[in-house]
Amino acid sequence: MSTTQANKIEINKVATSKINQVDFDNLNFGSVFTDHLLECDFKNGEWQTPVIKPYAPFLLDPSARVFHYGQAIFEGMKAYKDEQDSIWLFRPDENFNRFNSSAVRMAMPEVPEEVFMNGLNELLKLDHEWIKKGLGNTLYIRPFLIATGEGVIANPSEDYKFMIILSPAKAYYSGEVKVLIAEHYSRAANGGIGAAKTAGNYAGQFYPTSLANKQGFQQIIWTDDATHTKLEEAGTMNVFFRINDTLFTAPVSERILDGVTRKSLIDMAKKEGLDIEVRPVLVSELVEASKNGSLKEIFGAGTAAVISPIAGFSYRDEYYELPKVSDSFAMILKEKLTNMQHKLIEDTYGWTVKVS
């Protein structure tokens, strides 16, 4: 193992890489990790020196607050490699800002930009061989922050650990996705933490999603907690609906995550000349549009899946199949977005950032 310094980051390299043990053609999403990780502790009211070191388990006290009071946030990002072997990020400033917004909501310290961004850049440069060229090949980036302070008193922790881990990835979802519209369970509520990317949001949806899985559905389209009449998110993704030739998606709120892919698709749709409306969408609208044939597409949008087309939905025990359309807005937008991320077409938005 060798130790160096870069941008005030201590770097401890592995003696031997494990990359040759990985089958990059057969990757299960989020199950294989690169040689190194970044770690930075918050102690005594200050951020310590960031360290890049070999990926490995670490010890926590059983009374660490993350285990008892759920102070844990994360982000999802991707790195891409172009044909000239340059590494690119997609709108990393959006992820950085949202990460710290989540930290504020969960009473956690904000991570400094030099720790988050500089640390990420150094980590990506060190593990650059794990980023494979070619459309569809990406490196998934998972920054997270957990409470490590000891003691089971119900107060915010005083100590925290920030980490970034990396995982080579291909497609997140495959095959047809059928969804169940929620009538009882809710993902989030007004005044709650639905807009924060915190671990508990995801844990809370596992049970109702498992019930949907038993009925043959892969995901749930969540509805508002008060009336269950407004369509909000699909699984862990934002969701879009195409009725005739207009795209609809719900506005962000305390209940809906401000997705980076979502806002990018909205801007792209406008530039492509597609009609798009950001407003509450009612379940009754969706059902009626399906019945009269005007519902053309539903698709989820998020970092991991990019765009995930939905084949049909169920509501009150009735299943509604979506038509196969030749001019799919989902596919048009996905192709342009992924080509831009992989630098196969020009980025006219200034969204892609080169790692240097």
Q: How far apart are CA 115 and CA 233, in angstroms?
A: 32
Q: How far apart are CA 170 and CA 183, in angstroms?
A: 33
Got the DSSP string for 194-228? Answer: TTS-BHHHHHHHHHHHHHHHHTT-SEEEEE-TTTS
Q: How far apart are CA 78 and CA 92, in angstroms?
A: 9
pLDDT score, position 304: 87
Q: Give me the residue label for tokens 């765009």.
A: 307
What is the number of alpha carbons within 13 Å of residue 289 lying toward its C-beta?
Answer: 23
Q: How far apart are CA 251 and CA 152, in angstroms?
A: 38
Which structure tokens are listed for 139? 């490196």
Q: How far apart are CA 79 and CA 342, in angstroms?
A: 9
Q: How far apart are CA 236 and CA 5, in angstroms?
A: 38
Q: What are phi and psi of 132, to 5 degrees?
A: -95, 145
The sign of the dihedral angle between the CA atoms of 30, 31, 34, 38 is positive
pLDDT score, position 2: 57
State the pTM of this model: 0.95
What is the number of alpha carbons within 13 Å of residue 349 lying toward its C-beta?
Answer: 21
Q: Structural domains in the chain?
A: 2-169 (3.30.470.10), 177-341 (3.20.10.10)
What is the number of alpha carbons within 13 Å of residue 21 lying toward its C-beta?
Answer: 7
pLDDT tens per residue across all 356 residues of the chain: 555 555 689 999 999 999 999 999 999 999 999 999 999 999 999 999 999 999 999 999 999 999 999 999 999 999 999 999 999 999 999 999 999 999 999 999 999 999 999 999 999 999 999 999 999 899 999 999 999 999 999 999 999 999 999 999 986 656 789 999 999 999 999 999 999 999 999 999 999 999 999 999 999 999 999 999 999 999 989 999 999 999 999 999 999 999 999 999 999 999 999 999 999 999 999 999 999 999 999 999 999 889 999 999 999 999 999 999 999 999 999 999 999 999 999 999 999 999 99
Contact yes or no for 52/122 (Cβ under 8 A)? yes
Q: Where are the beta strands (DSSP E) in 214-333?
A: 219-223, 230-234, 237-243, 246-249, 275-278, 281-282, 295-302, 306-315, 318-321
